[in-house]
Chain A
Amino acid sequence: MATVAESPVKKRLSDIVGSQAVSDKPDVLQSYAGGPGSAPRGKPIATVRPRNRNEVQAIVRLANELGINLVPASSGPPRFRGGTVPCEAGVIVDLSAMDRIVRVDRLNMVAIIEPGVTFARFKAEAEKQQLRVFMPLLPRSTKSALASYLDREPITIPKYHWDMSDPMLTAEIVFGEGDLFRTGSAAGPGSLEDQWKMGLAQKNPEGPAQTSFNRVVQGAQGTLGIVTWASVKLGMLPEIKRCYFAQDDSLERLVDFSYRVHRIKLADDFLILDRMALASALAESPDEIRALAEKQAPYTLIYCVCGYWHFPEKRVAYQEKGISGIAQHYGVRLTNEVPGAGSKRMSEIIDNPSSEPYWKLRLKGGVREVFFLTTMDKTPGFIKQMETLAEERGFPVGDIGLYIQPVQQGRNCHMEFQIYYNPDDEPETARANKLFKEASRAMAGSGAFFSRPYGPWADIAYSRCPDTVWMLKEIKEMLDPNRVLNRGKLCFGEEI
């Protein structure tokens, strides 16, 4: 197999996409470098920007021919989880030029989007038809909606997060040798247009037949296939949306409250932030953030109740009444403002991508995230663990933010610690990195499930499930036998 250096990679890529869509300029390559802590093991040697799935297929076939490592990327910078940092020298397949919103279907509340569609554009387009895009909390403005869904990033409305795969439904995938596939009911028979004519809307995520490859490529960090479009669920755009808060010293109390509210599906958006994370979402400068954080209670629960297209007042009224009954029962005090935000402002904030600078970078310019899945009742234990570790390692506990996002209708939650640090301060960066690594390892030992194993989490997560690793490797061998897709990521490196 020819090595990348020996082969006329750039020319051959240019033959597929045109020379203007291929680059090996250092500054362009640097923008995929991934950010803090994602120490590159390999460097991008070029970027290529396909415009359609035929070009993607041709690139994948070329990679098979030349033995090139392809690293798919959809979102724009800044990147800080290392998803686009190659483990081996490779070509970045930048899908951001594939940015069509193929369809927004109001009747069926579904859209088809390409990888380059950002949340901001998607949301604007959906809202024209009174539809709501399900978003993660404050995505960065350049974040690809499809990439977020493909990564099983949690959305802020647990009620509509029925399954871990939500809100993604069907997908078009180019597998590792260039084969095209479609999942769920999109598989066929018939083209998309044929299916639309019959009233179908690429809504059934399961299948075709006895497999669901959309689940297999979700969470795969581009190692098993390149997704060229996906159909995703949309919600009804609320006619009324009211945001409420519960601030408390006791997370346990908020957790009990949360269980009950979710059981009855009373709230729409629902999340918990600690004072630092909340202040970072509300304020922009470090001073403002610190000052605002001082004024907050340790934990703030934010939830919204919504009324949609039928009797919105009636819906909101029964939900408000139900929730306040639960709050009373658990001794939780509900308010419609917290220092720095009232209902309206908070609602606007969580309904939109993050303004600049990105909210997690506002305090110190850098962030190391430790996030995983757990159940709500275990969250207080992890907080204690993080505090103890931070104290032992001399990292200020006050520079760590917390975000808890119930998922799967409250059955479990995404728990996220945000370790803020100044990237220009080397010792501090080192301390943050050390805490990040130690906390990740310690928490995995306490039952933190790193379901989206970026960077060093891959070793942590996969060392705990050898059977899963075996099967994943076999699947990789089937879908990408020449290992052209994001080589070395997840459990597909040599070491596991």
Chain B
Amino acid sequence: MKQTGPSLISPPIGDEAYKDLEEAVGPEFVTREPAVLDGYAWQPLWNEGPEMWVHRPIAVVLPASTEEVQAVVKICNKHGLKFKAICTGWGALAGPRCENVVQIELRRMDRILEIDEKNMFVVVEPHAIGGQVMAETMRKGLHTHIVSSGAASSPLASATSCVGCAPDGTYMNWSSRNLLGVEWVLPDGEVIRLGTLGSGDGWFCGDGPGPSLRGVLRGRLGAFGGNGVFTKCALKLYNWPGPPEPVPEGFLYDTELELPPHCKAYIMFFPDRKSLADATQAITVEGIGYNAFKPGMGSLLTMIVPHLLHKESWKKAKYLKKAIQAFNYQFLEVLATDSAEELEFQEAVMRDEVSKHGGFMMDMEHTGMAEMIFWTFVLSSNYPIFFKAAGMFITAYGQDESHHSMVMASPDGEKIKQKWIDRGGILDDNADSGIHFMMEESTVSHYEEPIEFDHRNPDQTRTIKPIEMEFTHMQAEHCMESGITSPVMRKMFGPTEGFYTKWQKGIGKIIDPRGCADDYLYNAEPVEGEPLPDDPAILEMTEKLADIATKMAWTEDGPLE
């Protein structure tokens, strides 16, 4: 396993800069203690390929207010240092990705500033975590969208900076679409407030006057800390028809908690992928579901029986695997409605589509699992269990477009996975773990392939990069944008997506004239002259990717028609 080595350790922060930081936030809230810094550099999740470490930050500071964040960013500008925000910190996306980075740790900014019950929004600081927001808003009959990293992650981070999709999106939308007013410390230390907030009119709208700067702030992905620090934002809230204070007993899958009135959990099974796509599209456009989710059978196994997947007998269980695969065209619906009649309507629609498509559905109450399914989804509490089966995972593909394009792409994903399972490169989860869920009823659907691996096993970690590359190739073949944002990938695939990097970099120059933000995941150019890896699988894929990127590159007149 690669340790943090000289290439990832910057020269120590200068005393003058350090003293400035101490003055800005107080000496007890800044450190350059190597052991603590290494805690921030150990980032195996969402890291690149087999890497376990990111660059060690030169200092960690914990500001408590917007003013302190500004002061820290200005100090970085003054001393020619970089900075990067870390919030709930579920992975390497928040870690320093270059030298000389001051890590801005936001855990002291954890307040819920306002819940506007009537106008259905909440104003949060970065480290107000999903669970905390949920607990407060549920008391008022409201709920908020939380991504699948779960209730321990930051809704602000997702909304401003980092992807933002989840199965609750069918009812509660995805993070980028839930953003209202925003307070944003730019990489030069100045603050900008978006929408109504910037005009002193409160938090209720993030767009205008005139053009909306939300489109500068983020896109499908976020800037991953590369465009400043978001210190406050207002997020949309949605109706919550359940109890104001659910008090569960037990833990995760053993949770005991009653189903609220007019709430249910159903699982539907379809004979094939096409019926699954057709039926679930028809169901979700009718606005059915509080959470709507196509789990992969493989993903379920990794959560429920993680040890089984490591057994020799599992590898050989050809028929069992086939039998399990037969159940993969399934779809889970968590219903939370406001009346018996609404519930009855939602059930009727599901039943109708299931029967039209030759499927069957199960009321989870008949299995004894309804409460568990309902509450783990509604409270977003189960997701981190994903680490259990192999220790680490990545998700490949990660795309959002029409439901059919997502569902019908999954066999290609399964093929790639199966190949690497056969080579022993990743955990054998039966390769059928592709998941789908929707945004705004069914405006957009999501597809991702979770890939589990043991990050302590070099035979597995070395496969991750080629797998990611294969999936990127598949994305291009399916006319989907590249999901990975690294300097090399942006350079390669920018031309296939309208040379977007030109405009994105233009924005970078406006907001960060001195290049103070760690923008590795946003705008940075690849380092020239980096030696090519010696792994033949990577070399082969590099060539293939370059080929397809060249073929699909835009000309001056647009994409090749």
Please report A residues at the B interface, Cβ cutoff 8 Å: 54, 107-110, 152, 162-165, 169, 180-182, 184-185, 187-191, 193-195, 197-201, 203-204, 206-221, 223-224, 233, 236, 259, 263-265, 308-311, 314-315, 317-318, 321-322, 373-377, 408-412, 447-453, 457-458, 461-462, 464-465, 467-468, 470-472, 474-475, 478-479, 490-491
Contact = CB atoms under 8 A, between A and B. Distances in A.
A309 B286 contact: yes
A209 B349 contact: no
Interface string B244-283: 0000000000000000000000000000000000000110
B510 A203 contact: no
Given A162-B173, A210-B218, 17 more contacts: A54-B557, A185-B480, A188-B479, A199-B409, A201-B401, A204-B220, A211-B503, A211-B507, A215-B211, A220-B211, A309-B285, A318-B345, A408-B236, A453-B209, A457-B209, A458-B209, A470-B192
A217 B211 contact: yes
A206 B344 CA distance: 35
B415 interface: no
Nearest to B141: A263
Contact of B119 (A190, A375, A467, A490): A375
A223 B191 CA distance: 25
Contacts of B476: 189
A219 B198 contact: no
Contacts of A321: 339, 341
Contacts of B478: 198, 200
Q: Which 10 A-B pairs have the closest CB atoms?
A: A215-B215, A207-B220, A451-B208, A199-B405, A190-B479, A318-B341, A461-B209, A189-B496, A212-B215, A189-B552
A492 to B, nearest CB: 9
B175 to A, nearest CB: 10
Interface stretch (B63-71, B124-132, B199-207, B457-465): B199-207
A310 B402 contact: no
B335 interface: no
B192 A219 contact: no
Interface string B482-501: 00010000100100111011
Nearest to A163: B177
B398 to A, nearest CB: 12
Contact of B402 (A108, A210, A448, A470): A108
Contacts of B216: 211, 216, 471, 475
A165 B118 contact: no
Given A201-B401, A412-B119, A467 B211 contact: no
Contacts of A265: 239, 287
Contacts of B236: 408-409, 411
Contacts of A165: 207, 212
Contact of B209 (A197, A411, A462, A475): A462
Contacts of B222: 210
B481 A187 contact: yes
Contacts of A201: 401-402, 405
A449 B208 contact: yes
Contacts of B345: 311, 314-315, 318
B158 to A, nearest CB: 13
Contact of A203 (B176, B193, B402): B402
B554 interface: yes
Contact of A478 (B201, B214, B510): B510
B14 interface: no
A321 B340 CA distance: 11
Contact of B221 (A164, A210, A310, A311): A210
Contacts of B199: 449, 461, 464-465, 468
B198 A467 contact: yes
Contacts of A220: 210-211
A237 to B, nearest CB: 12
Given A310-B352, A375-B118, A411-B121, A215 B214 contact: yes
Nearest to B174: A206
Contact of A219 (B176, B190, B208, B408): B208
B559 interface: yes
Nearest to B281: A107
B26 interface: no
20 contacts: A109-B442, A162-B173, A180-B556, A187-B497, A189-B493, A189-B496, A191-B561, A200-B479, A210-B221, A211-B216, A211-B500, A215-B214, A215-B215, A309-B285, A318-B345, A373-B196, A411-B180, A412-B205, A471-B510, A490-B211
B183 to A, nearest CB: 11
A282 B229 CA distance: 51
Contact of A185 (B120, B401, B503): B401
Nearest to A182: B498
A213 B121 contact: no
Interface centre among A54, A233, A375, A377 (most CB of B within 10 A): A375
B209 to A, nearest CB: 4
Interface string B538-561: 000000000000001010111111
B214 A212 contact: yes
Given A201-B405, A408-B236, A209 B500 contact: yes
B204 A412 contact: yes
B559 A191 contact: yes
Interface in B331-348: 338-339, 341-342, 344-345, 348
Contacts of B341: 314, 317-318, 321-322
A36 B349 CA distance: 51
A475 to B, nearest CB: 7
B219 interface: yes
A310 B209 contact: no
A180 B498 contact: yes
Contact of B401 (A197, A200, A374): A200
A164 B206 contact: yes
A8 to B, nearest CB: 26
B108 interface: no
B493 A318 contact: no
Contacts of B405: 198-201
Nearest to B552: A189
Interface string B444-469: 10000000000000000000000000
B59 interface: no
A152 B207 CA distance: 10
B447 to A, nearest CB: 11
B443 interface: yes
B365 to A, nearest CB: 21
Given A201-B405, A452-B208, A471 B213 contact: yes
A199 B210 contact: no
B121 A189 contact: no
A60 to B, nearest CB: 13
Given A180-B558, A315-B345, A373-B205, A468 B213 contact: yes
B82 to A, nearest CB: 18
B215 A214 contact: yes
B221 A308 contact: no
B384 interface: no
Contacts of B207: 152, 164-165, 215, 218-219, 451
Contacts of B479: 188-190, 194-195, 197-198, 200
B404 interface: yes
Contacts of A108: 402-404
